[in-house]
Amino acid sequence: MKTNSNNLTTYIISGIAILIFVVFGYFYLIGTSNTSQPLTRTTVLNSTTIKSKSIFYNLSSLRFNTSIFSDSRFNALKDMTVPITPEPTGRKNPFAPI
């Protein structure tokens, strides 16, 4: 009879601990949200935005000299690519038994 009493006590203590955990979890995740709006609206620029804008402005001022494409030495270049020959593929599952 003593083991039934111990089991009941264990269940009650476990239930109370789970209930406390759920209540604290609720207040931690949902209950602490601040939904009030600020009185003034300001735009805060982070460092990534500032860096990306400065890179964009630096790149927009670049000018490329395209006279190389009309040079006779450039036009004398030949394409020497070699086609890749297809090879047979392996098995679908290399770890499957043979």
pLDDT in tens, 54-91: 888 888 888 888 888 899 999 999 999 999 999 888 88
Q: What is the pLDDT of residue 27?
A: 82
Q: Domain count of the chain?
A: 1
Asked if the structure places residue 90 within a domain, the reply is: no
For residue 1, pLDDT over 60 is answered with no
Q: What is the pLDDT of residue 32?
A: 55
Asked if the structure places residue 94 within a domain, the reply is: no
Q: Quick check: 3 and 11 in contact, CB under 8 A?
A: no
Asked if the structure places residue 88 within a domain, the reply is: no
Write down the pTM of the prediction: 0.31
CA atoms in the 13 A half-sphere facing the CB of 83: 3
Asked if the structure places residue 80 within a domain, the reply is: no
List the domain range (segments joined by +) for residue 64. Answer: 2-32+42-75
Asked if the structure places residue 10 within a domain, the reply is: yes
Contacts of 68 (CB under 8 A, 6+ apart): 74
Asked if the structure places residue 97 within a domain, the reply is: no
